[in-house]
Amino acid sequence: MQNLILVVDDDGFHRRTAERILKASGYQVGSLSSGEAMLAFMNAQKADLIQLSLRMGGIGGFAALKKLRELPNGADVPVLAMIDKHNADDESKAVAAGAAGFVTTPFVPSVLLLTVRNTLGLSAKGAIKAPEPPKAAAPAQNSGSNALAQELAKLLAQLSEGERSTKGHALRTAQCARRLAQAAELSAEAQERVYLMGLLHDIGSMDTPAEILDKPDALTGEELAAVRAHAMRGYTMLREIRAVQGLAAAARWHHERYDGTGYPDGIAGNDIPAEVRLLAVADVCSAMSETRSYRAALSVDEIRKVLTDGKGTQFDPQYADLMLALLDKPEEPAAAEPAEAPAAEAEPEAAPAPPPLPDDPMERLQAVGFDTEAGLRCCLGDMSFYKSVLLDFSTQAEKRCAKMKMALEKKMWDAYRVYAHELHDACVTVGLASLAEQASCMEDAAKQADRTYIEANHEPLLAALEEAAGHAGYAASK
């Protein structure tokens, strides 16, 4: 019998995307647009798992989750809360209300399916318990507690390394990751987060026998499996830590490869979280610069060659290029050429007409800025699924514009933030990174109630959305 999963979200785009991903993997899916509808369903029937948006109109996700636990059919059903990435506040509130786990939007199909499968497996084994009464919230971290967290993480890393040949690797990786995050112009918060990820990424190795890690010869198959087990062991050790997001993911996925041939899950490309892709580059560079029992430290030229050869296969090209830039000495800017005498003014020529857009729907999308490969990855490589998502994107554009205009006119900055976030997720799903970045900037501005920035960029954003929707509609119709 198929597991029944309820997807509850008032954003139709998210709801239909999740429904298609889950159905493609054999699950029975019920799609509901409100907390009230979910409670009515669960009052009469029962689901095996509920995927619930926390940011809905009407009763809202948090209240719906709390009321669900009061129903006979809802007391023990596992709930996965849909949250924005790195939203620790929503996570802590959802745990208090009884969520079993989280999925972030926009959806990464492989991660969503893995989370659903693991949650259903734990539920079947009785490993997911009924929620306990909420505890008092921990005080917000300040600079002092951040420093304490770093010192504790450093101590744990040292304890896990002991006196092995890898001693000091975690600290060097953390320092390298922070430098790389600075080069990538990540926020100060993200820089500290990847530093902590670096300190703890190999914590699962503390149970790996030293004679294996320090072995000067090639490892046997059994020994290699013992080494690789550290990734899942580290994930298990860190997954309950909520104060700093991403630690467990870093432990689990820092040996994944950009082309999907890594371990333990074989995920690829953007399915690997961005900060973990960054950490993977720092981890390998740190390891290559260290003397190990089976080889001497590599030279800078050798490290540079590994990074260059591994771009797009082992490493995210973006972070590999940044690491190469950090390794290379900056060149002095070339001397400016002497200015030529100004030529006599000529009549300005008319701008050449833009080339006609290709008739092929995917080629047209690529010509106007869509990354169709990224869109297809979000749609499990299914072209018909991708076209249905493009159609949703196109048909919902007018409604998105109207909601954002209304929020701006009424100065409803929190509503504007929600609508901008929804637009960002929709753009990521169809592979439109440039518009996703614009929407993300507007979301940040709305958080700060930055009226000047929003008013200056609102109309260009909506114009770009309308143009992109037209191209998406064209591709979906072919």
Same domain flag for 196 and 252: yes
Task: Determine contact, residues 323/307, Cβ cutoff 8 Å.
Answer: yes
Q: Examine residue 264 and say whether the peptide bond preceding it is cis (omega within 30 degrees of 0).
A: yes
Same domain flag for 160 and 120: no
Instruction: Please state the pTM of the whole predicted model.
Output: 0.48
pLDDT of amino acid 145: 44
Tokens read off for 45: 């029937």
The b-or-e profile of 350-363 (16+ CB within 10 A means b, else e) is eeeeeeeeeeebbe
Same domain flag for 112 and 157: no
CATH code for position 67: 3.40.50.2300
Same domain flag for 273 and 201: yes
Parts of the chain with a pLDDT under 50: 127, 130-145, 148, 155, 157, 159-165, 330-339, 341
pLDDT of amino acid 50: 94
Boundary of a domain, candidates 327, 349, 379: 327
Same domain flag for 154 and 275: yes
pLDDT of amino acid 352: 58
pLDDT of amino acid 398: 92
pLDDT of amino acid 125: 59
pLDDT digits (tens, 9 = 90+) for 319-344: 999 999 998 754 333 344 444 545 55
Query: Is residue 335 domain-resident?
Result: no
Query: Is residue 337 domain-resident?
Result: no
Boundary of a domain, candidates 327, 343, 373: 327
Same domain flag for 120 and 207: no
Query: Is residue 297 domain-resident?
Result: yes
Count the neighbouring beta carbons within 10 Å of the beta carbon of residue 340: 6
Same domain flag for 115 and 13: yes
Same domain flag for 430 and 374: yes
Query: Is residue 461 domain-resident?
Result: yes
CATH code for position 377: 1.20.120
pLDDT of amino acid 330: 45
> Which residue intervals of 328-382 are DSSP H helices?
361-367, 372-378
- How many domains would you assign to the chain? 3
Boundary of a domain, candidates 92, 124, 156: 124
pLDDT of amino acid 60: 80
pLDDT of amino acid 465: 93
Query: Is residue 215 domain-resident?
Result: yes
Same domain flag for 374 and 464: yes
pLDDT of amino acid 132: 47
Residue 419 to residue 90: CA distance in whole angstroms: 17
Query: Is residue 140 domain-resident?
Result: no
pLDDT of amino acid 457: 92
Query: Is residue 404 domain-resident?
Result: yes
Burial class (CB in 10 A: 0-12, 13-18, 19+), 384: exposed
Residue 350 to residue 364: CA distance in whole angstroms: 25
CATH code for position 170: 1.10.3210.10
Q: How far is CA 151 from CA 148, 196, 249, 403, in A?
A: 5, 10, 21, 47
Q: Which domain holds residue 68?
A: 4-124
Same domain flag for 177 and 318: yes
pLDDT of amino acid 39: 92
Task: Determine contact, residues 231/253, Cβ cutoff 8 Å.
Answer: yes
126-134's contacts with Cβ under 8 Å and 24+ in sequence apart are 128/76, 128/78, 128/100, 130/69, 130/75, 130/76, 130/98, 131/69, 131/95, 131/96, 131/97, 131/98, 134/95, 134/96, 134/97
Same domain flag for 240 and 283: yes
Same domain flag for 100 and 179: no
pLDDT of amino acid 163: 44
